[in-house]
Structure 1
Amino acid sequence: MAEQTGRGAPQTFYWYDYETFGVNPRRDRPAQFAGRRTNLDLTPAGEGEVFYCRPPMDQLPSPESALLTGITPQLCAEKGLNEAEFSQRVFERLNTPGTISIGYNTLGFDDEVNRFLFWRNFLDPYTHSWQQGCSRWDLFPLVCAAWALRGDGIVWPQWQDLVDVYPKARGRSGVCFKLEFLTKANGVGHDHAHDALSDVHATIGLARLLVEKEPRLWQWALENRTTQKVHEALADRKPVVWVTPRFGVARGCTGIVACLHQEKHDCWMWDLTADPTLLRTLSFEELRRRIKLPHTDPEALPIRKLKANASPFVCANLRVLSPERAARYGIDLAVAAENIRKFQELAPLVAPALADVLSDRFANEDAAPVTNPDASLYQGFPSRNDKLAFARIRASSPEQLKAAAASGEIHFDDPQFAELLLRYRARNWPETLSEEEAQHWRAFCRSRLIEGADRAITLQKYFDEIDALQASPRYEDEAHQEILGALYDWGEYLGSAAE
C-alpha cells in the first residue's frame, strides 16, 4: 500500500536515470532522461518515459561519453526538447507531491545533474528533496549494505571474472557493483546498458530482488533514509555502522564510526577502529597537516565526511554487523568497543580545536570563487527579490522575455543573473535576441570553444581526442566509427556557428 505523506499525498517512487555528454554533473549537459513511477510495493503507477535534450551551442560533448551511450548530439538536436522545456518536465516529475526520487547512484551523480539543470533554467534546485512530501533516495548504498551485511541470496559478480567482457576490469578484484553486471548475474532484465530507460527498468528489477531476498533490510532502509533519521542516529556522538565504498571492498565497505564535528548536514566521522587518544597528542598545526593528507597516507587521520542529507546507510544498532562479518573485514569488535569508550570521554575535550581545523580545511577546499553563473549554485542563496524574478522568468513566454530585456524591466540584486538570463534565452530561443545580444552570445561561444573559457574543452582538443579514438583498436568497428564521424561533424558545425 502507498504510504501517506504529512500533506496527505500518497508516496510513490519515481525511478530515473540520465545519460549525459560528459562525466562532470556540474558542467556537462544531459542528453537523455528516462523515468518511471511505481508505488512503494514497486508495482507500476505509470508508463516508462524517455525524452532528449537539445545540445548547447556553447559546449562540446565528451567523445568518450558519446561512444559509451551511443547518443550523438545530432540525435538530440533532432529529437530533443530545448533545455527550458526539458528541465520543466524533469522538475514536474520530481516535484509531484509525495515523490521519492530514486535511482542507482543518483545522489552521487544524477541529482547533481538535476540541481545544475534547474539552476541554469531558473527552477528551484532543492524543492524535490523536501517540499510537499518529496524526498530523495539512492539504491546504491543499500546494495552495498546488502552485500556487506547480508546478501547471501544474491549473486555478486567479481571484477576478476569480467575481464573478457569488460576490459577496464583488468587489474581489479573483489565485488563489482556496476548495475549492468549485477543485473546480469542475478537474471534481472537489462537489455541495453547505458540506455536511460533500460537502466531505469534494471534498477527497479534490482530493487525487487532486494525486496525478495532482504525484505527486512529494505524496509529498514526505506524508513531510515531521511536526513532527520540520519541525524538522530548520529546524535550525542553515538557510534554507528556506516556502509560506504570509501572504506574499500577489502574492508567490506564497512566502518564503525562516530561524529566528531557537524556543520548542518556535513558530519566528520572518526573511524573507531583507530584509537582516538591520538587526537590529544597533536598540536593544532599537526592536526591541520594530517587532516589534509589523503587517506592512502599512513599519517592521515581516520576522519571521513558523511553527508546526512544524501541517504547514507548508517545504523545505530551495532549488532547489524555480525562478529563473523566483522572478522572477515578485519574489524576487531573488542578494540572498537574500547575506542568507543575512549571517544565518548575525549570528544568533548578536543571538539573545539577540531571544529576550527575541520571548518578551516573544508571551507577552503573550493576557495577559488566561481565566476561562471552556470556553475555558481553553491556560492550562496538568491535573494527574495531574485527568486521572484526567477518565477516571473519561468512564467514568461519567449516574446515576453524579449520585451522585458529590451525595456530593462527585470532587475536582479545579484548581477550574475542578468548574464544567466541572456544565456537562458540564447540557448532556448536564439531568434529572440537583439543584434547586440546575439553578438555577445557568439563571443561567449567563441570564448569557450576556441579559448577554453570556464574549463570548457576547446575545438582543437576535441578534434585531437576524436582522432586518437578513431585510431584506437577499441573503436575500429563501423558503429563506433560512425559515432566518431558524427562527433567530428558536430564540432565543425559549432565552430562555424560561433564565427
Structure 2
Amino acid sequence: MGFVFYDTETTGTDTTFDQILQFAAIRTDDDLNELDRFETRCRLLPHVIPAPGALLATRVTPAMLIDPRLPTHYEMMLQIAEKLRAWSPAIFTGYNTLSFDEPLLRQAFYQTLQPVYLTNTNGNQRADVLRLAQATAALAPNAMAVPISARGKPTLRLDTLAPANGFAHENAHDALADVEATIYMARLIRDRAPAVWHALLPLVDKAEVKAHLNTSEPKCLVEYHMGVPSTRAVVGCGNHPKNPTMQAVFDLRRDPAEVLDLSEEDLAGETKGPNRALRTVYANKMPALVDPGLAPDLPATIGLHLPEIVRRAAVVSADNQFAARVGRVMEQRYPPFEPAQIVEQRMYEGFPSRADENRMQEFHKADWSVRAEIAEALEDDRYRELARRLVFVNAPEALTDPRRSQLQAWLRNRRHGRDGVEVGRTISGALAELDNDSSADQPPEAEAIRSWLRNLD
C-alpha cells in the first residue's frame, strides 16, 4: 500500500471552529517515490474569523481570503474528497496530522456533508511522521539531528527539524512545502533508523496495536513531552468497555503487588500524576509501542533488570479481574461527551441514516435551488443545519426570505459573539490578539489585517 502525505494551512489552531485555507498532498508508492501531487486553496467562510497570527505565519493577506478566483470552501472540499478517493486505498499521513490536520479534515468533510472517516475506512489507514520522529529521537538518537529551540530545549518542529537534517525548507508554513519536508524526514528515518520505521509502521493498524497489548510480553512505550523523549516498560491491562480504541497499559516501574488489589476508587488515583501506574494509549493513533530489544537501555532507565520486567508483565496480564476493574475506572474517568448545542461540536454524535446519506449524495449533484429543498428534507438536525448553511454561504438567493433572515442573524451573532454565541473567534477577539501582541515592531501586514477586521460587518 502506498502513502498519501498531506498538510493544511488554516485560519488558526482550533480544530472545531477554524477553517482549512490551503490543502496539499503528495501520493507515493510504498517505497516513498512520488506518483502524483495535488494542491488547492479556497476563500474564507464568512462566519470564520481568522487568527491574525495564523495569517502572518502563512503570509496570507486579507485580499487572498476573498479572492473570487479561488474556489469556495465547499468546492475545495469536494475536490479534496474526490482526489483522496481516487488515491485510495492508502496510508494517509503527514506531520502531526493525527492531532491537528486529521481532525480539521474530518470537520471540513462533516460541514460539507461528506463522509467524515474517508481516511480510515475502505482499506485506508492513518499514520503520523511526528510519531516516527519522536520514536527515532528516543530509540535511535544518532540517526537524526534534533535541533535546539530559542528557549534552549530540543524541538521536533518540522520547520526546524527538516533544515537541521539537510532539507532546504525555505517556504515553511506553505502546505506543499511542508509535505515535501515531511516526505524528506520519512525517507531519512526509514534509511537511518530502519528498525524504528519497520517497528512503528504496522501500528497504523489498530488491530496490530491491540495484538501488541493482548500479550503477557512487556513492550517499550515511547512518549515525548516538552521536547524530552521518555521510554517506559509497559504491558496491556484492559480497555475502555465502550471505546475499545482506548487501551490501558501498566507502567512496570510500579510493583504490581502494590496496585493489583486496589479498590476502584484508589485505582482511579493511579490514572493521574507523573508516577501513575495506569496510562492510556489510543489504538487508532499509532502509539509508539515497540519490543524492548529496540531500547537496550530501557532496564537501566527504569532501574529494573529485564527478568524482573518480564515477571511483572506476566503478573499483570494474568489478572483478569484487575483488567475488568481498570475498564470500569476508564469508563468513569472518560464518560460519554455531554450533548453539545453547537453543530460543529456534534460531529461524533452518530452516523447519518441511509436515507440522509442518499439525500446528501443528491445534494452534491443538484443545483442550488434543489439543494435548498434537500436541506429541509434531511432527517438529522445536524446535517439539516449544515446543509442550510451551505446554501446560505454559496447561494443565499435560493433560500426563502425567512430562512435567509434567520441565517443572516446567525452570521452576525457568530462574528460578534452576540446572544450567547461564544464559539470560534470573534472580530473583537481577533483585534484583541493584534493589540495584545508584545512584538515591538509588528509587520506592516498586521495593520492591513487590523483594517480589514474593523471593516467586517
Is the contact made by 1:118 and 1:124 (CA closer than 8 Å) also made in structure 2? Answer: yes
**CA separation of 1:340 and 1:75: change in aligned 2, threshold 3 A:** same
1:309 aligns with 2:300: no
For residues 353 and 259 of structure 2, the distance between their equivalents in structure 1, rounded to whole angstroms, comes to 41
**Aligned-partner residue type, residue 105 of structure 2:** N
For residues 253 and 394 of structure 1, the distance between their equivalents in structure 2, rounded to whole angstroms, comes to 48
Is the contact made by 1:183 and 1:202 (CA closer than 8 Å) also made in structure 2? Answer: yes
Is the contact made by 1:34 and 1:197 (CA closer than 8 Å) also made in structure 2? Answer: yes
**Residue in 2 that maps onto 1:194:** 173
- Give, in angstroms, the shift of residue 404 of structure 1: 4.1
For residues 194 and 323 of structure 2, the distance between their equivalents in structure 1, rounded to whole angstroms, comes to 39
- Give, in angstroms, the shift of residue 237 of structure 1: 5.2
- Give, in angstroms, the shift of residue 386 of structure 1: 2.2
* 1:130-169 mapped onto 2 (5 Å cutoff): 130-131=121-122, 133-158=123-148, 162-163=149-150
Is the contact made by 1:83 and 1:428 (CA closer than 8 Å) also made in structure 2? Answer: no
Gaps of 5+ in 1: 1-10, 164-169
- Give, in angstroms, the shift of residue 330 of structure 1: 4.1
**Aligned-partner residue type, residue 361 of structure 1:** R
**Residue in 1 that maps onto 2:358:** 388
1:350 aligns with 2:322: yes
1:424 is paired with a residue whose SS is helix
1:310 is paired with a residue whose SS is coil
**CA separation of 1:238 and 1:330: change in aligned 2, threshold 3 A:** closer
Is the contact made by 1:137 and 1:225 (CA closer than 8 Å) also made in structure 2? Answer: yes
For residues 343 and 223 of structure 1, the distance between their equivalents in structure 2, rounded to whole angstroms, comes to 25
1:265 is paired with a residue whose SS is strand
1:97 is paired with a residue whose SS is coil
1:227 aligns with 2:194: no
1:437 aligns with 2:403: yes
1:309 is paired with a residue whose SS is coil
**Residue in 2 that maps onto 1:419:** 385
**Aligned-partner residue type, residue 221 of structure 1:** L
**Aligned-partner residue type, residue 237 of structure 2:** L
- Give, in angstroms, the shift of residue 45 of structure 1: 0.7
- Give, in angstroms, the shift of residue 224 of structure 1: 4.0
For residues 429 and 125 of structure 1, the distance between their equivalents in structure 2, rounded to whole angstroms, comes to 24
1:378 aligns with 2:358: no
Is the contact made by 2:363 and 2:374 (CA closer than 8 Å) also made in structure 1? Answer: no
- Give, in angstroms, the shift of residue 491 of structure 1: 2.1
**Residue in 2 that maps onto 1:256:** 233
For residues 192 and 331 of structure 1, the distance between their equivalents in structure 2, rounded to whole angstroms, comes to 45
**Residue in 2 that maps onto 1:180:** 159
- Give, in angstroms, the shift of residue 198 of structure 1: 1.0
Give CA-to-partner distance per residue, 1:145-179, whole Å, 9 cap, x none.
Answer: 11211241322213xxx32xxxxxx2x53x31111
**Residue in 2 that maps onto 1:208:** 187
TM-score normalised by the chain length of structure 2? 0.91
**Residue in 2 that maps onto 1:462:** 430
1:332 aligns with 2:304: yes
**Aligned-partner residue type, residue 407 of structure 2:** W
For residues 264 and 195 of structure 2, the distance between their equivalents in structure 1, rounded to whole angstroms, comes to 45
For residues 126 and 25 of structure 1, the distance between their equivalents in structure 2, rounded to whole angstroms, comes to 15
**Residue in 2 that maps onto 1:88:** 78
**Aligned-partner residue type, residue 90 of structure 2:** T
For residues 27 and 278 of structure 1, the distance between their equivalents in structure 2, rounded to whole angstroms, comes to 45
Identity over the aligned pairs, expressed in percent? Answer: 26
Is the contact made by 1:74 and 1:490 (CA closer than 8 Å) also made in structure 2? Answer: no
Is the contact made by 1:149 and 1:320 (CA closer than 8 Å) also made in structure 2? Answer: yes
**Residue in 2 that maps onto 1:488:** 450
For residues 331 and 110 of structure 1, the distance between their equivalents in structure 2, rounded to whole angstroms, comes to 38
**Residue in 2 that maps onto 1:318:** 292
Is the contact made by 1:16 and 1:101 (CA closer than 8 Å) also made in structure 2? Answer: yes
1:245 is paired with a residue whose SS is strand
- Give, in angstroms, the shift of residue 193 of structure 1: 1.3
- Give, in angstroms, the shift of residue 60 of structure 1: 0.9
RMSD: 2.3
**Aligned-partner residue type, residue 26 of structure 1:** T
For residues 113 and 390 of structure 1, the distance between their equivalents in structure 2, rounded to whole angstroms, comes to 20
- Give, in angstroms, the shift of residue 454 of structure 1: 4.5
1:42 aligns with 2:32: yes
**Aligned-partner residue type, residue 387 of structure 2:** L
* 1:1-20 mapped onto 2 (5 Å cutoff): 11-20=1-10
Is the contact made by 1:151 and 1:214 (CA closer than 8 Å) also made in structure 2? Answer: no
**Aligned-partner residue type, residue 234 of structure 2:** V
2:9 is paired with a residue whose SS is strand
1:379 is paired with a residue whose SS is coil
- Give, in angstroms, the shift of residue 325 of structure 1: 5.3
1:112 is paired with a residue whose SS is helix
* 1:13-162 mapped onto 2 (5 Å cutoff): 13-46=3-36, 48-78=37-67, 80-95=70-85, 96-131=87-122, 133-158=123-148, 162=149
Gaps of 5+ in 2: none
- Give, in angstroms, the shift of residue 492 of structure 1: 3.0
1:71 is paired with a residue whose SS is coil
- Structure with the larger helix share: 1
**CA separation of 1:93 and 1:238: change in aligned 2, threshold 3 A:** farther
Q: Which range moved further: 352-361 or 455-464?
A: 455-464
Give CA-to-partner distance per residue, 1:53-106, whole Å, 9 cap, x none.
Answer: 211111211122222222234313215321211111222233222222111111
- Give, in angstroms, the shift of residue 333 of structure 1: 4.0
For residues 24 and 174 of structure 2, the distance between their equivalents in structure 1, rounded to whole angstroms, comes to 9
- Give, in angstroms, the shift of residue 419 of structure 1: 1.5
Is the contact made by 2:145 and 2:164 (CA closer than 8 Å) also made in structure 1? Answer: yes
**CA separation of 1:285 and 1:461: change in aligned 2, threshold 3 A:** same
- Give, in angstroms, the shift of residue 110 of structure 1: 0.6
What stretches of structure 1 move > 4 A for 4+ residues in a row?
Answer: none
**Aligned-partner residue type, residue 75 of structure 1:** M
Is the contact made by 2:216 and 2:314 (CA closer than 8 Å) also made in structure 1? Answer: no
Is the contact made by 2:206 and 2:283 (CA closer than 8 Å) also made in structure 1? Answer: yes
Q: Which range moved further: 235-244 or 373-382?
A: 235-244
**Residue in 2 that maps onto 1:8:** none
2:371 to 395, 401, 404: 401
- Give, in angstroms, the shift of residue 308 of structure 1: 0.7
